[in-house]
Amino acid sequence: MTEVLAAIALGVPSTVVVTALAFAMGAVLGVPLALARRSGPAPLRWLAQALIDVLRGIPPVVWLFFIYFGLGNDVVRIEPLVAGTVGLGLIASAYLAEVYRGGLLAVHAGQQEAAEALGLSPGTTLARVVGPQAVRVALPGAATYLIGLLKDSSIVSTIGVTEMVFRANAVSRSTGDGLMPFLVAAALYIVLSAPLAWASRSLDARLRRRVAR
Amino acid sequence: MSLLADWWEWLPSLLRGLLLSLEIAAVSIVTGVVVGMGLALAVSAQNRLLRAVAVVVVEVGRGTPALVVLQLVYFGLPSAGLTLASFAAACLALGLTTAAYTSEILRAGLQAVPQGEVEASQALGMGRRDTLRYVVAPQGVRIAVPALMGFSILIFQGTSLAFTISVTELLSRAYSIGSATFDYLSVIALAGLLYLAVTLPAGWFVRRAERRMARHL
Amino acid sequence: MSAHAPPRPGVPVSLQNLHKRYGDHVVLEDVSLDVAAGEVVAMIGPSGAGKSTALRCTNLLETPDGGRIVVGDQVVDAGAGVSQADTMKLRRTAGMVFQSFNLFPHLTVLRNVSLAQERVLGRSRRDADARSRELLARVGLESKADTYPGRSSGGQQQRIAIARALALDPHVMLFDEPTSALDPELGLDVLEVMRELADEGMTMIVVTHEMHFARDVSDRVVVMADGGIVESGPPAQVLADPQHERTRRFLRAVMDR
């Protein structure tokens, strides 16, 4: 069992890297998407909504295939790791844009009005008044998404990234054992997500203490 | 426009794949929600053993990627004596995943029913089973419906992973055509559009249901 | 108001040495209260005094840490652990009306009143519905029978809630601030129904802020503060000439509103 575990654990770095990079990409790109969706000229708002709907409406593995086999073959040569990370990152930006939108909507309209009455510029209002409060609401949703993204990173195994599931499949094929490698992989995912879940809960508690004064 | 000509040529095969995807999704969702309801009740049961088992099933079901569950069911179960064909394996795997996630959704719905009504039911002398059956469950399930529908859309998307266990659903057919024609881009694009043809209207329907729900409460 | 069912004699209630605490916070401190059959007791006092807790212990919606509860011939000792069967029997004898009505919004008014009759008393649907219509007529709301609770005003919902509790033929009625969530005008109809119940000989324990009700309808006023009973006596005496400083302070604050 330990050889199986060691072989599959070799995939942990890839899993973590894909998850982290995709989340970072999504967290950053989600901001302009959310802002465009919320306050922009009508065609821009419509475009942002369409982008979000299309990114979330097509299964992630289909997006990965589109990027790796589609664009990768016909347009430009792409590494599996890059294709996987970019694909998941784009999808993450759509989901996180919705999480941000929820956070922005949760901020009392009165805050915006007060900021305007004080003569603050829209940029300052967003950065100093509305934004921080929106982040507080959005953080739990973003944390939940991150935990989900850890599991979704398994999908990049289908385009050849040598992360945990890829290696579990390899071990399974070479040993002929269809049960143990995948049980080990499942256990590893659960173990990896535990610190994230714990961090999310303590973050929740700390935020609630701060706000409830 | 040879692209459209190609699309027209590939459409029948892809549509057959789409149909299979929908079938897997339907079976998984229906069986998964029923089991999920059982799990939701078991997680708050009085019997400590039942509670512990249910919690473990839910946490493992939610903590394991769907792709891994698919591999486990298709490649792993034969060692435990149960060999399933691809379609059945996909339905079982996605059904288990559905059960684990929907049990949490349903539990949240049941808890959302005002505690005051539960107290009123108890004060009237109704036992736990009657309170659940007549007061809590009817309202709790109704509250959970939009979230259940949203999750169903995700399960439909999840059927695309079944190609890894040789199910000839939509994505696998697109990939076969792509490897035959060496033109993956256009056929996968068409497959993507077909997925959108289901998920976009479904998503709008769910949002409308959410709005209607919010108005009633 | 309309056809009256034959008056049902109430039974006596006895709360003996009730103790209850949440962590360090003592909610009930050796509370004892004897209510005679057909007596109407109004419980008043500041928030957090333990009035609602004492009331909810009476039908075991809350379980006291220690003490004894006697309703009619049902005796329950809290310390020894209470069985589900005993709890059910107790709840069948005592009906409760809540501050927030707690009607079932997904059932019609008629079904709200009939459901427990069928499930708890085993009445047939036809008998239960007939009795429900009788009771709804008695509180003046028979026309609402086939509508949903959401279509009725707060005062109407509370009267429906009273009908629902009466449908089980209780011998004691417990009211937990029945009019606190209502506009004063809507509350009048509810108080009128409660007055009629009292006239028919029902044993009633009413936690309330309505001093007029306490003065005009109740036989006895019990003042609670800080988890204990501070004063108890006829309304004329307690409300007009209270003996204890705590009562005086409370009444001053209430009257000044």
CATH number of the domain encompassing residue A53: 1.10.3720.10
Q: For position C2, what pLDDT does the model report?
A: 42
A151 or C248: which leads in pLDDT:
A151
User: Mind listing the pLDDT tens digit of every residue in chain B (217 residues)?
Assistant: 688 888 999 999 999 999 999 999 999 999 999 999 999 999 988 899 999 999 999 999 999 999 999 999 999 999 888 899 999 999 999 999 999 999 999 999 999 999 999 999 999 999 999 999 999 999 999 999 999 999 999 999 999 999 999 999 999 999 999 999 888 999 999 999 999 999 999 999 998 988 888 776 5
Pairing mode of beta strands C220-225, C203-207: unpaired
A166: which residues sit within 8 A by CB, 6+ positions away? Answer: A11, A157, A160
**pLDDT tens by residue, C29-60:** 999 999 999 999 999 998 888 999 999 999 99
Share of chain C above pLDDT 70, in %: 96
Helical spans, DSSP H, in chain B: 2-43, 48-63, 66-71, 86-111, 115-123, 128-130, 137-158, 170-181, 184-216
Confidence band for A118, pLDDT divided at 50, 70 and 90: confident
Across chain A, where does the E strand assignment appear? Answer: none
Listed in sequence order, the residues at least 6 apart from B12 whose beta carbon sits closer than 8 Å to its beta carbon are none
B63 vs A151: CB contact, 8 Å cut-off? Answer: yes
Task: Assess if residue C197 is contained within a domain.
Answer: yes
Mean pLDDT of C7-13: 79
Is there a contact between A186 and B185 if contact means CB atoms under 8 Å apart?
A: no
**Cα–Cα distances in Å, from A29 out to A81, A93, A96, A125, A185?**
19, 5, 9, 20, 31
- Contact A/B (≥3 CB pairs under 8 Å): yes
How far apart are the C-alpha atoms of A204 and A149, rounded to whole Å? 19
DSSP state of B193: H
Q: What is the pLDDT of residue A213?
A: 41
Residues 93-112 of B with CB under 8 A from A: none
Q: What are the φ and ψ backbone dihedral angles of C220, each rounded to 5 degrees?
A: -145, 145
Does C120 contact B125 at a Cβ distance shorter than 8 Å? yes
Paired sense of beta strands C172-176 and C94-97, if any: parallel
Can you tell me the ipTM of this complex? Answer: 0.91
In a domain, B16, yes or no: yes
pLDDT tens-digit map of C212-238: 888 888 999 999 988 999 889 999 888
Tell me whether residues B80 and A179 touch, CB distance under 8 A: yes
**Residues A185, A180: Cα–Cα separation, whole Å:** 8
Query: CB–CB of C117/C130 below 8 Å?
Result: no
- Give the chain B residue nearest A185 (alpha carbons): B68
Tally of structural domains, chain C: 1
Closest CA to C194 of C12, C14, C41: C41
Of B114, B126, B142, the CB nearest to C116: B126
CA dihedral angle for residue C35, residue C38, residue C44, residue C48, rounded to 10 degrees? 60
Neighbour count for residue B135 (Cβ, 10 Å) = 24
How many CB atoms neighbour CB A87 within 10 A? Answer: 26
A92 phi and psi angles, rounded to 5 deg: -60, -40
Round to the nearest angstrom and report the end-to-end CA distance of chain C.
Answer: 32
Residue B182 lies in a domain: yes
pLDDT-derived band at C7 (thresholds 50, 70, 90) equals: low
Taking the C-alpha atoms of A14, A17, A141 and A87 in order, what is their torsion angle to the nearest 10 degrees? -80
Determine the distance in angstroms separating the CA of B41 from the nearest CA of chain A, rounded to an integer.
23
**Does any domain span residue B132?**
no
- C178 near B CB under 8 A: no
User: Looking at beta carbons, which residues of chain A come within 8 Å of B76?
Assistant: 178-179, 182-183
pLDDT digits (tens, 9 = 90+) for C154-203: 999 999 999 999 999 999 999 999 999 998 888 889 999 999 999 999 99
| Residue B177 lies inside a defined structural domain of this protein | yes
Q: What share of chain A is helix, strand, coil (3-state, %, to 5)?
A: 85, 0, 15
Asked if B125 has any chain C CB less than 8 Å from its own CB, the reply is: yes
Tokens of B134: 């007549």
On the question of pLDDT at C6 being above 80, the answer is no
pLDDT for the residue C1: 40
Confidence of residue C3 (pLDDT cuts 50, 70, 90): very low
CB contact under 8 A, B75 and A172: yes
Tens-digit pLDDT profile for residues A142-178: 999 999 999 999 999 999 999 999 999 999 999 988 8
pLDDT greater than 80 at residue A103: yes
Are chains B and C touching, using the cut-off of 8 Å on CB pairs and a minimum of 3 such pairs? yes
pLDDT at B217: 58
- Region A76-93: mean pLDDT is 93
pLDDT of residue C214: 87
- Determine the structural domain holding residue B201 and report its residue range: 2-99+151-216
Give the chain A residue whose CA is nearest to the CA of B196: A57
Question: What's at A31, amino acid-wise?
Answer: V
CB-nearest partner of C168 from B124, B130, B135:
B124
Residue C49 lies in a domain: yes
Cα–Cα distance, B171 to B161 (Å, whole number): 8
Does a structural domain hold residue C243? yes
- Residues A58 and B29: their CA atoms lie apart, in Å, by 19
Whether B158 contacts chain A with CB within 8 A: yes
Q: Is residue B146 part of a domain?
A: no
C77 forms beta bridges with C68
CA distances from C180 to A86, B118, C162, C176, C215 (A): 59, 20, 15, 9, 17
Q: Which of B68, B79, B196 sits opposite A58 (nearest CB)?
A: B196
pLDDT of residue A76: 79
Q: Nearest residue on chain A to B64, judged by CA atoms?
A: A186
| Tally of domains within chain A | 1
pLDDT value at residue C5: 54
Range of A80's domain?
Answer: 2-211
Domain count, chain B: 1
Q: What is the dihedral of CA B124, B125, B130, B136, to 10 degrees?
A: 40
- B192:A58 CB<8 A: yes
CB neighbours of residue A171 within 10 Å: 21
pLDDT for the residue A48: 94
Q: Residue C111 falls within a domain, yes or no?
A: no
CATH number at residue C93: 3.40.50.300
Query: What confidence score (pLDDT) does residue C165 get?
Result: 95
Q: What is the CATH number of the domain that holds B11?
A: 1.10.3720.10
A-chain CB neighbours of B184 within 8 Å are 65-66, 69-70, 73-74
CB atoms within 10 A of CB A80: 21
CB neighbour class for C255 (10 Å; exposed up to 12, middle 13-18, buried from 19): exposed
> Which tens digit of pLDDT belongs to each residue from C97-151?
999 999 999 999 999 999 999 999 999 999 999 999 999 999 999 999 999 999 9
pLDDT at C256: 62
Residue pLDDT, tens place only, B161-193: 999 999 999 999 999 999 998 889 999 999 999
In angstroms, the separation between the Cα of residue C106 and the nearest Cα of chain B is 7
Whether C20 is in a domain gets the answer: yes
- Asked if residue A125 has pLDDT above 90, the reply is no
**Chain C closest CA to B152's CA: distance in Å?**
25
Q: How many angstroms away from the CA of A114 is the closest CA of chain B?
A: 28
For chain C, the three-class secondary structure string (H helix, E strand, C coil) is CCCCCCCCCCCCEEEEEEEEEECCEEEEEEEEEEECCCCEEEEECCCCCCHHHHHHHHCCCCCCCEEEEEECCEEEECCCCCCHHHHHHHHHHEEEECCCCCCCCCCCHHHHHHHHHHHHHCCCHHHHHHHHHHHHHHCCCHHHCCCCHHHCCHHHHHHHHHHHHHCCCCCEEEEECCCCCCCHHHHHHHHHHHHHHHHCCCEEEEECCCHHHHHHCCCEEEEEECCEEEEEECHHHHHHCCCCHHHHHHHHHHHCC
Is there a contact between B127 and C96 if contact means CB atoms under 8 Å apart?
A: no
Euclidean distance between CA atoms C122 and C163, whole angstroms? 18
Give me the domain span that covers residue C213: 13-104+174-255
Residue contact C120–B119, C-beta within 8 A: no
- Nearest CA to B183 among B191, B175, B172? B175
What's the distance, Cα to Cα, between the start and end of chain A in Å?
A: 52
**Whether C115 and B117 lie within 8 Å, measured CB to CB:** no
Over residues A1-58, the pLDDT tens digits come to 788 899 999 999 999 999 999 999 999 999 999 989 888 788 999 999 999 999 999 9
Chains with 3 or more CB pairs under 8 A to chain C: B
